[in-house]
Structure 1
Amino acid sequence: MEGYDEGKAIELIYAAMLGEATWQDFMRYLANSAANGKAVLVLHDEVMQRGYIPIAHGVESSTLNDYAAYYASVNPFMSPAAAMMPGRGTPDIELINERALKATEFYNDFLLPHEMPGRVSMTIEHSHQFMFVLALLSDALDIDEKHRVAQRLTRLAPHLQRASRFYREAGLGLTLGDFNGAIFDAINKGVVVIGEYMHVKAMSEKAEQLIEGSEAVGFTALGSLRFKSSDMQQSLQGMLDRWYTGSKLVAHYVGELKISLILIEKNDISSYFEGPTVVAILEEGQGTNKEFNITHFSTFYGLTRAEIRSLRGIANGYSVSEIAQQARRSEETVRTQIKSLYRKTRTNSREGIIRKLFGAS
């Protein structure tokens, strides 16, 4: 246990923002200010009742995994914390009374076994459905010490909120600087940078031209990107989910456009405050090449007319229901045709067959 110096804690926040220290340094300092202390940054999704801990000190990785896998969904502190204004350090007993807490699964199976029965927390921000929470936990916090820690967190709040704005604005600045589209425009490709909640962060001139002349992609009334293809829309929504674990590159052929979605990798703290970012690369003039590829591909693999029809639907980014509707067949029939496509082409996914299709010419 170290003595606590507020100036040192604030200095570490700004040093971490500038890259002269790490956020682990700050978390370590905060944790060591209490006997057997542990510090965690928590992200909680109020709508889905899930969460995770991207940065922590004093907590084993297996414990963090257990929290993300299950205990985030039964955390009794989050609901009362959501009703409080951000920026106020709060002892656990002000969120839930001690008797009720000790009756919970979260306390008995998670906090107590890991020597974290005492907790003081502060919501840094409450943005849309997400709560960003800093918490200090220990098995050696009496009521007076909890109130002292709560006051410390309250005084740190403006600096941590400034850090949150810094990462969001820095992320937008890098987006506009690195993806201004000049290079892509020069090679006749458009680029759109998309953030959390489908928000368009930046867009090149070529992308604007392609979208304006396309029926396959457009904007909602709120300015979010919207694809006609439900598969494409689901791919983008999935990649913008903070819990997404799929491919970082997804390509679809939608109408006259080839659209590639790329999930940008970030460090833990940028991901925590800023959320995911996807870059969409738009290319035109795929129609002629696509039809040639389908003909060549179908002959090579000996596809039936029905299988070719389903293949063409996949190449256009249509869902099973859309292919079935256009072909006036049942969805089950189309699924059977697609399974046959996979078997004949030795693929097992839409992405796999698309990659093979456009590498076939």
Structure 2
Amino acid sequence: MAADNDDLVDQIYQAMHGTLSWQNWIDGLNARFDGVKFALWGHDLKANSHLGMVHSGYDKDYMQQWIDYYSRVNAWAPGLAQAPVGVAQTAEQLLDRQSLLTTEYYHDWVRPQEDIATGVGITFFSDANRFFGLTANVRLKDEEQRNPELKTMMTRIAPHLSRAFDAARRMPKPGNAEDLENLSHGYRSLRWRSIRRAICAT
């Protein structure tokens, strides 16, 4: 696993310099952790960059439902927005499971997707100007195997993702800085509004 994480770190810097797209990077995460669904998302108000989200593993119809409605009732969003920066948190640390199971979000969006009711998330920046996070949804049946692996992986790569986003904020447009500003190419504004509502619902 350590060697795999080192490979992920190398790919982060490839993405930062434009030799690998962020979509390819997160697709690689999805391929590495079978059955896990990933999303990299956030915003940077100071740099006027509304990054939206890149994701992998989710069914496109469910993602459209998330954009249209379920982002506004995301039961984990308040906990993630308040989580300590750089510390990987399980879904249960963000919201206890019994509370999750009572929500519309769980019954109508989480459970129909193979019951992806657990997982791990981490934030790289979380302040008035910036919020960036990586989240992973895990099927309940995979919880014991996947959650420890994901916590280890996210803890390992978090400092490197922080550096990559910070560098992209300052660097001129060559490389992948432009890519970072267009992670949600096609309907960035719609996704940004949905994500902002979810993050601010604290």
Equivalent residues in 2 for 1:169-184, closer than 5 Å: 169-170=170-171, 173-174=172-173
Matched, 1:270 2:178: no
1:40-74 Cα deviation digits (max 9, x unpaired): 113379xxxxx995211112333222212211111
The 3-state SS of whatever aligns with 1:25 is helix
Q: Which AA in structure 1 matches 2:69? A: Y
Quote the residue 2:155 is aligned against.
154
Q: What residue in structure 1 maps to residue 143 of structure 2?
A: 142
Q: Output one character per residue of 1:193-237: Cα deviation in whole Å (capped at 9) or x when no partner.
A: xxxxxxxxxxxxxxxxxxxxxxxxxxxxxxxxxxxxxxxxxxxxx
| Identity value in percent | 24
**Could you tell me whether the CA contact under 8 Å between 2:73 and 2:105 is conserved in 1?**
yes
CA-based RMSD: 3.1
Q: Is the 8 A contact 1:53 1:64 kept in 2?
A: no
* Aligned 8 A contact 1:41 1:135 in 2: yes
2:39/2:56 contact within 8 Å kept:
yes
- Indicate the structure whose relative CO is greater, using CA pairs within 8 Å and at least 6 residues apart: 2
Amino acid at match of 2:162: Q
Structure 1 pair 267–113 and aligned structure 2 pair: CA distance change class (3 A): farther
2:111 matches 1:112:
yes
Task: Return the alpha-carbon distance in structure 1 between the equivalents of residues 72 and 87 of structure 2.
Answer: 23
Q: Is the 8 A contact 2:122 2:154 kept in 1?
A: yes
Runs of 4+ residues deviating >4 angstroms: none
Alignment of 1:143-292 (within 5 A): 143=144, 145-170=146-171, 173-174=172-173, 269-271=180-182
User: What residue ranges of structure 1 are gaps of 5+ in the alignment?
Assistant: 46-50, 175-265, 277-361
What's the counterpart of residue 48 of structure 1? none
Q: Which blocks of at least 5 consecutive residues in structure 2 are unaligned?
A: 45-49, 190-202
**CA–CA distance in structure 2, aligned partners of residues 44 and 60 of structure 1:** 23
Q: CA deviation at 1:36?
A: 1.0
**1:91-149 CA distance string (max 9 Å, x none):** 11111111111111111111121232222111121131653221112214323531331
Q: Distance in 1 between matches of 2:73 and 2:165?
A: 26
The alpha-carbon distance between structure 1 residues 270 and 21, as it changes in their structure 2 partners (threshold 3 A), is same
Secondary structure of the residue that 1:5 maps to in structure 2? helix
Please say if residues 22 and 183 of structure 2, whose CA atoms lie closer than 8 Å, have aligned partners that are also in contact: no
What secondary structure sits across from 2:85 in the alignment? coil
Structure in which a larger fraction of residues adopt helix:
2
Question: Which residue of the partner structure matches residue 4 of structure 2?
Answer: 5
Whole-Å separation in 1 of the counterparts to 2:54 and 2:95: 25
The 3 A distance-change label for structure 1 pair 77 and 119 is: same
Q: Residue 136 of structure 2: SS of its match in structure 1? A: strand
After TM superposition, the score normalised by the length of structure 1 is 0.44
Partner Cα separation in structure 2 for residue 61 and residue 269 of structure 1:
21
Residue 267 of structure 1: how far off its partner (Å): 5.0
Q: TM-score by structure 2 length?
A: 0.75
> Whole-Å Cα distance in 1 between the matches of residues 80 and 182 of structure 2?
22
SS at match of 1:114: coil
